[in-house]
Structure 1
Amino acid sequence: MRALLAGVAVVALAGGCAAQQFQALEPKLELRNAAQQLADAKSGGFTLKLTGNPDDLVAAAGADADAATVKQLFNSSMSVAYDKGGSSSLGVTVDGVTGTEMRFVGGTVYVKAPVAELAAKFGATPAEVKELTGGGEDYDAFFSGQWVSIDTKAFQDAAGTPSASPDQAKVLEEFTTSATNLLEGAEVVRDKADDKHLVVTSSTTKAYGEAKRFATAVEPSLAEQFKKAPADKPVVLDLWIDNGKLTAAEINVLQFVEGATGRVAARIEMTAGAAITAPEGATKIDLPTLPGLSQLD
């Protein structure tokens, strides 16, 4: 009987240890699966913005900070969408003014912006806004907030820039690799108050190393930008996963500022993929006729 009880105790203890190990491992598995699902998606996107208290950022930046400019940053955002077919889009909200968008489709760049509204936002008088013009019908279309198109090859030929551009599939693959490498050595725990919230703790040394690896893999010339690693300290990243999908990520930027208090987070909110198409009725701009561009030979 004693042998039986001892055996039961050993099994129970082993089971308890296994349960604890699984509980510690389970958030990592969920995060790894979410990262793989993101990498496998044919299209996707995200919105980047700042959250938190603008006054905390002003205090952390000290004399170099301008409170008005900081508040404009908190009222701005950037949205990116992409697909593995090579199309992508970039949308920007500038201090609450929406409508600035750029699309890359089939070797052509399409651009529109509420130029008059932005000019007024940043101090242009009504008379100055009314006089905005590009000196021709094609540029006037842009200044009036309409879609214009630009042949990227024509721009590259005129400006003397190389035609090669980073492959989106490669960028996504390398990003996934770096994220996986960081995950392997990080501590991942689940928020007891929110089971969709994972807290990942890594270090500045690991983050710096993976940032360098990623940048160099995408564009080798960027390697020279990584000359000195920062002092090693913990780095905390907050992630939210719902039904196996990564929905948001936040990192408190103030954790990198010595003596800073409060929270100002760079937040990424994932968005669903959608078809990225060329807008109808875009006015074509012949870039080589831009003032000064033809002299770049």
Structure 2
Amino acid sequence: MEQLSAGSKLDQAFEELAEEKSISFELDLDTDPRSLKALDASSDPEPGEELTDEVAGLLSDMKFSVTVQSKKPIAESGEKDYVGMALKISNKDGDLTEYRVIGDYTYLRSDVNALGKAMGFPVPSVKDLPPEAGGLKKVLEGEWVKIDTKEMAKTSAEMGAESGAEPEPEPTLGAKTQKRLLEALRRTIAREVDFKTADDKDGSEHITATAPFRTLITEFLGEIRPLAKHLPPGMELPTDKDLKDAPNAKVTADFTLKNGELTQVSVDLAKLAENAKVKKLGLVVRMRDGRTPKAPAGATELNMDEILGGFGAALMDAEGFLEDEEGFLEEAA
């Protein structure tokens, strides 16, 4: 009875969330630099590509704030239904970077100096930019800038495409396919996950869900294989053989409900590392009231020629910048 009741409560909470047209949440990495470095070391990085203390400290302290807004309920939304998105990355010292997509424009601002210092790569100086690159000076000064989203996507596609080839459309996942994937996930959870409930003093309810990782993933993929033809190009599903070496340790997720509404989810992933030195490795998602992403006032518009010409040249002149940036992206992934 407890299993059925807990599963039903979670199902209802997620259904209510899916009916919202705007969802906001915060994602924290519940970890520490020592655990991240131990996890990195177990992946056997090449000499010189090990996770540095500075990067491990930056990643362990990051918080991601996300808002998504649609014209329709989230559960029924396809790519064209979304009208606003905002992502902010911050740490204990303040905001590191922020990104918003609203209307025809993508808005950006970053604390370039803080990122450069933490990541150990040189940051171009304002004096390194040509006189006509006024907008790019705003980037280095941490001010808001905006870029035409279609122009940015077109340029990115052209740069990634082979010479003379037509840029391929971005892969999309239709609303119907999303719904069928969610139904497959529900069936898998009902079969493979053990639930327990407990009450808190503040009136909230905790539901813990525990399942062996490899079994859960394998069963879920088995459920969705019939949907493979409906998935966007490039979304290849791993085979059971691919998953045979995945850890099968039990993973527990803790869901907090207040008045039936989902308020927080925390997941402990340390056991999946299969490394005794990884003491703390988890994710915490805190739900927030749905907000409406707004375009920041006074943003300076940039065009792609200005970005590729002025800023690109300045970055190329900064010795070692590109190599350090690639190393950061690999470590962050």
The TM-score bracket by the shorter chain reads 0.7 to 0.9
TM-score (normalised: structure 1): 0.75
Residue of structure 1 in register with 2:90 after alignment: 93
Residue of structure 1 in register with 2:69 after alignment: 83
2:300 aligned with 1:269: no
Mapped contact 2:247–2:274 kept (Cα < 8 A): no
Question: Following TM superposition, by how much is the alpha carbon of 1:196 offset from its aligned partner in structure 2, in angstroms?
Answer: 1.9
- Could you tell me how far apart the structure 1 residues matched to 2:126 and 2:308 are? 22
Q: 1:73 aligns with which of 59, 65, 87?
A: 59
Question: Following TM superposition, by how much is the alpha carbon of 1:147 offset from its aligned partner in structure 2, in angstroms?
Answer: 1.2
Q: What's the % identity of the aligned pairs? A: 20
Change (3 A) 1:141 1:228: same
- Could you tell me how far apart the structure 1 residues matched to 2:147 and 2:180 are? 29
Question: Following TM superposition, by how much is the alpha carbon of 1:111 offset from its aligned partner in structure 2, in angstroms?
Answer: 0.7
2:236 aligned with 1:223: yes
Q: How does 1:25-104 map to 2 (within 5 A)?
A: 25-62=4-41, 66-85=52-71, 86=82, 87-93=84-90, 96-104=93-101
Question: Following TM superposition, by how much is the alpha carbon of 1:264 offset from its aligned partner in structure 2, in angstroms?
Answer: 2.1
Q: Deviations over 1:20-69 (max 9, x none)?
A: x2x33211111111110111111112211222454344445546554443
Residue of structure 2 in register with 1:287 after alignment: 304
- Could you tell me how far apart the structure 2 residues matched to 1:235 and 1:178 are? 20
User: How many residue pairs are counted as aligned between the two chains?
Assistant: 271
Q: 1:187 aligns with which of 194, 198, 209?
A: 194
Change (3 A) 1:170 1:144: farther
User: Which sits farther off after the overlay, 77-86 or 166-175?
Assistant: 166-175
Mapped contact 1:155–1:288 kept (Cα < 8 A): no
Residue of structure 1 in register with 2:254 after alignment: 238
- Could you tell me how far apart the structure 1 residues matched to 2:94 and 2:174 are? 29
Question: Following TM superposition, by how much is the alpha carbon of 1:142 offset from its aligned partner in structure 2, in angstroms?
Answer: 1.7
Query: Which one has a bigger Cα radius of gyration?
Result: 1
Mapped contact 1:250–1:268 kept (Cα < 8 A): yes
Change (3 A) 1:225 1:287: farther
Where does structure 1 lack aligned partners over 5 or more consecutive residues? 1-20
Residue of structure 1 in register with 2:113 after alignment: 116
Change (3 A) 1:109 1:128: closer
Change (3 A) 1:71 1:84: same
Mapped contact 2:188–2:219 kept (Cα < 8 A): no
Question: Following TM superposition, by how much is the alpha carbon of 1:289 offset from its aligned partner in structure 2, in angstroms?
Answer: 3.9
TM-score (normalised: structure 2): 0.68
Look up the equivalent residue of 2:106 and give its one-letter code: V
User: Which sits farther off after the overlay, 87-96 or 154-163?
Assistant: 154-163
Q: How does 1:150-165 map to 2 (within 5 A)?
A: 150-159=147-156, 160=158, 161-162=167-168, 164=170
Question: Following TM superposition, by how much is the alpha carbon of 1:292 offset from its aligned partner in structure 2, in angstroms?
Answer: 6.4
- Could you tell me how far apart the structure 1 residues matched to 2:292 and 2:171 are? 21
Look up the equivalent residue of 2:257 and give its one-letter code: I
Change (3 A) 1:205 1:162: same
Where does structure 2 lack aligned partners over 5 or more consecutive residues? 43-49, 72-81, 159-166, 311-333
Mapped contact 2:266–2:283 kept (Cα < 8 A): yes
Residue of structure 2 in register with 1:248 after alignment: 264
Residue of structure 2 in register with 1:24 after alignment: 3
- Could you tell me how far apart the structure 1 residues matched to 2:177 and 2:145 are? 28
- Could you tell me how far apart the structure 2 residues matched to 1:143 and 1:164 are? 30
- Could you tell me how far apart the structure 2 residues matched to 1:193 and 1:91 are? 31
Change (3 A) 1:81 1:175: farther
Q: How does 1:204-215 map to 2 (within 5 A)?
A: 204-208=214-218, 210=220, 213=224
Mapped contact 2:252–2:267 kept (Cα < 8 A): yes
